[in-house]
């Protein structure tokens, strides 16, 4: 069935591409690369176009998560990616670690182009935060206030001035975007710290995302009996997700790269909202998360619980480590996607255009 599917996709994609007007360049993101890399290469030969591969990961390492590293399909996919990857004209990748791996193991020369957040990922004004909290409070208990008023669990509107302010004694808002292949298990440790008298705020953990194990984990959540922690798994409309990120106090990332060479886009989006992050360790994560500067890196649930204790101690004081991380993110002023593209990719295309202009046959 898999072979038949690949053959069908190959014919369909090739037929579609060859009916297009010939482009100067074809920009292809990998993965998925089977069969798109080979098809794009054939189309570029026909058009006499240039093929650019944007390497975000390796497809074969993703396949290996289900089948194992030595499965015949995985080995074929690995051979295929290396072979057809070398036939491209230009290559982009998302980390310096992947750039080195492409050169050492695949003899592919690439340029690093880091992912950047879209422009709508930014800090959320209080008024917009309040609107979202009030909207979520209609359906989700952790966002509801203790009495009926123009108030959520996190914000309230002054009756006289109409201004929105943070509620006193509000809980801390933690958000984790997960594919539900795992769930951070630091909650019991955090609850124990509060029971032992550590001055920590109540915690609302919002977990977004879909996946095959969501219902299983929802069942586990219902069996938990925390006094100081609430776990919420809301369905968010697309426009509400960046607003919630820009409203949260801390992000938690559980992304583990299949290759150890790509970076989690979830953290890129969180940093766009100036949201500090606790992220689980893997090899090249330091290219994005600077430990103790814009976030923290942990290796297990116990270390994460300890980090939450440190970050939320005396919350929400402005002298906290959490506030320091946010200030660092504001000051870092990352390049926008357009600026990064103009600086990294445009020179490649410009050089090619100049070569064509100097060619008598053209």
Q: Which residues contact 153 (CB under 8 A, 6 or more apart)?
A: 133, 137, 142, 143, 144, 145, 167, 170, 171, 204
Spatial strand order in the sheet of 229-232: 229-232, 203-208, 172-177, 250-253, 277-280, 295-298
Q: pLDDT class for 181, splitting at 50, 70, 90?
A: very low
Task: Look up the pTM and report it.
Answer: 0.84
SS3 content of the chain, % helix, strand, coil (to 5): 45, 15, 40
Least confident of 31-35, 173-177, 198-202, 216-220: 216-220
pLDDT reported for residue 213: 61
What pLDDT digit, counting tens, does each position of 246-304 carry? 999 999 988 888 888 999 899 999 999 999 999 999 888 999 999 999 999 998 888 88
Alpha-carbon span 343 to 256, nearest angstrom: 29
pLDDT at 333: 74
- Based on the number of CB atoms within 10 Å of its own CB, is 138 exposed (0-12), middle (13-18) or buried (19 or more)? exposed
Q: What 3-state class would DSSP assign to 12? A: helix
Q: Are 89 and 52 in contact (CB under 8 A)?
A: yes
Listed in sequence order, the residues at least 6 apart from 219 whose beta carbon sits closer than 8 Å to its beta carbon are: none
Tokens of 212: 């095959």
Which token pair is 315?
């919350």
| pLDDT exceeds cutoff 90 at 144 | no
Ranges 38-42, 104-108, 193-197: which has the least confidence = 193-197
Q: Are 198 and 311 in contact (CB under 8 A)?
A: no
Residue 336, both tokens: 């926008």
The whole-chain average pLDDT of the chain stands at: 85
Residue 196 in this model has a pLDDT that exceeds 90: no
What's the pLDDT band for 147 if we cut at 50, 70, 90?
Answer: low
What is the pLDDT, as a whole number, of residue 182?
44
Half-sphere exposure of 181 (CA within 13 A, CB side): 8
């Amino acid at each position: 069935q898999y072979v038949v599917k690949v053959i069908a996709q190959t014919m369909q994609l090739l037929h579609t591409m060859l009916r297009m007007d010939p482009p100067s360049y074809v920009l292809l993101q990998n993965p998925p690369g089977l069969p798109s890399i080979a098809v794009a290469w054939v189309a570029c030969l026909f058009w006499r176009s240039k093929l650019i591969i944007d390497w975000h990961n390796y497809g074969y390492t993703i396949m290996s998560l289900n089948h194992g590293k030595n499965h015949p399909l995985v080995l074929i996919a690995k051979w295929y990616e290396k072979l057809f990857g070398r036939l491209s004209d230009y290559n982009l990748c998302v980390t310096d670690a992947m750039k080195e791996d492409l050169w050492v193991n695949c003899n592919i020369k690439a340029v690093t182009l880091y992912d950047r957040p879209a422009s709508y990922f930014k800090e959320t004004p209080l008024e917009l935060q309040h609107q979202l909290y009030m909207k979520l409070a209609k359906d989700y208990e952790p966002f509801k206030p203790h009495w009926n008023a123009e108030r959520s669990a996190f914000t309230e509107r002054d009756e006289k001035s109409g201004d929105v302010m943070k509620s006193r004694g509000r809980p801390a808002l933690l958000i984790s975007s997960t594919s539900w292949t795992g769930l951070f298990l630091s909650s019991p440790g955090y609850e124990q710290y509060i029971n032992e008298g550590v001055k920590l705020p109540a915690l609302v953990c919002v977990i977004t995302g879909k996946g095959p194990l969501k219902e299983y984990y929802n069942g586990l959540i219902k069996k938990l009996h925390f006094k100081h922690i609430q776990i919420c798994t809301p369905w968010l409309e697309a426009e509400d997700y960046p607003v919630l990120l820009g409203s949260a106090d801390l992000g938690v990332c559980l992304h583990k790269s299949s290759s150890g060479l790509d970076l989690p886009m979830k953290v890129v989006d969180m940093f766009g909202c100036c949201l500090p992050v606790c992220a689980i360790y893997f090899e090249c994560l330091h290219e994005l998360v600077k430990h103790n500067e814009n976030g923290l890196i942990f290796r297990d649930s116990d270390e994460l619980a300890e980090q939450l204790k440190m970050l939320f101690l005396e919350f929400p004081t402005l002298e906290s480590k959490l506030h320091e991380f946010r200030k660092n993110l504001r000051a870092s002023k990352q390049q926008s996607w357009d600026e990064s593209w103009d600086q990294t990719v445009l020179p490649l295309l410009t050089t090619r255009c100049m070569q064509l202009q100097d060619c008598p046959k053209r």
